[in-house]
Structure 1
């Protein structure tokens, strides 16, 4: 039987290496998608698969940008312009050139991930920056980039007809940092999907609303 939240050994912090690993695993899986599949819907989202990769890339870029100023903002976002390319599409600062095709799209994802990895590695641990789910540190932004990568790759894999199951230890570390109230008596990947409203757990229906806690923990 898996340990409960009360008895489990605390997970180790999310690191830049964890995020880099997740992005590289994601890109490797997504490269298997046939070119014609990118216009299909990404899982339960309202966006197509191309837009979802742009959204994920934008998340990673935006998290890096929040840590970028000498004095990061504590009460709002660095004021880039985020805009949708169509009604109902994701509002992004990052958009991939469609003429570059899926290979170019995945380069955008990889580059955005590398920006956040670099910022997490070089930002002092005492630095704090705003996020709507709580003022956070570099390890927190790494965790947020990691959960975005894991769950949006799940959405994409559903839409593209690919298999995706990330390493359990990455899921455990994300749960420990961002979802401290969720149970740990089930598979970590399934628990992360439940925590983000994408699956049910035994005895626990699928969530219709959710959020993580980005605040710094000691």
Structure 2
């Protein structure tokens, strides 16, 4: 998993969300209990948190650094924060050696694993928000495929990586498989 893919996932997601910057972000994100604004904050928190885990390398817990977006800032500025968070994670991935491992509740992971986790947060929650905002956007195939390969070993084979990622994360059904009610990725190094 290339660290540059995290930045590209952020850039793609932010470009889609910028189209809704002036809309009502207090509406609920599609399929979530959170508002679109709270979902955006969750993405920033998660992506920076993954960078922190890679840097601190705890064996048994989350790190105590929590990053959030300024609740008073306009959405356009918050989207800038998403780009910053992704670049922090990409830097941490680049700095981590092949032997670096850090705790995550869904499997101790390495730099490529945390890169994939960040990409899933960006792409899937970006879709949750764009759906709520009624924007026509879909996570790019070339970004979904490596994230699925890295984090979802149980994923079915298929050519539509975006649909497979959405199935893996409980956001869509697949023919013959329906929609998942529960899910989690497997961050363990393989």
Q: Aligned residue for 1:49?
A: 36
Deviations 1:157-205 (A, max 9, x none): 0111112222212211111110111111351111110110001111111
Query: What SS is found at the alignment partner of 1:100?
Result: coil
Aligned match for 2:25, one of 38, 63, 70: 38
Q: Residue 157 of structure 1 is aligned with which of 130, 152, 159? A: 130
Aligned to 2:151: 178
SS in 2 for 1:37: coil
Matched, 1:213 2:190: no
Q: In the alignment, which residue of structure 1 is the partner of 2:164? A: 191
Aligned to 1:88: none
Q: CA RMSD in A?
A: 1.2
Matched, 1:15 2:5: no
CA distance in 2, matches of 1:173, 1:193: 14
Deviation, 1:128, is: 0.4
| Alpha-carbon distance in 2 for matches of 1:181, 1:57 | 27
TM-score by length of 2: 0.95
TM-score (normalised: structure 1): 0.84
Distance in 1 separating the partners of 2:144 and 2:113: 14
Larger radius of gyration: 1
Within the candidate set 200, 204, 214, 2:173 is matched to 200
Structure 2 residues not aligned, in runs of 5+: none
Structure 1's consecutive aligned runs of 4 or more residues displaced over 4 angstroms after TM superposition are: none
How many residues in Structure 1 have an aligned counterpart in Structure 2?
190
- Deviation (angstroms), 1:34: 4.5
Q: What does 1:37-186 correspond to in 2, within 5 Å? A: 37-69=24-56, 72-80=57-65, 93-186=66-159
Q: Matches of 2:33 and 2:53 in 1, distance apart?
A: 27
8 Å contact from structure 2 (residues 167, 180) kept in 1: yes
Distance across 2 between alignment mates of 1:97 and 1:128: 31
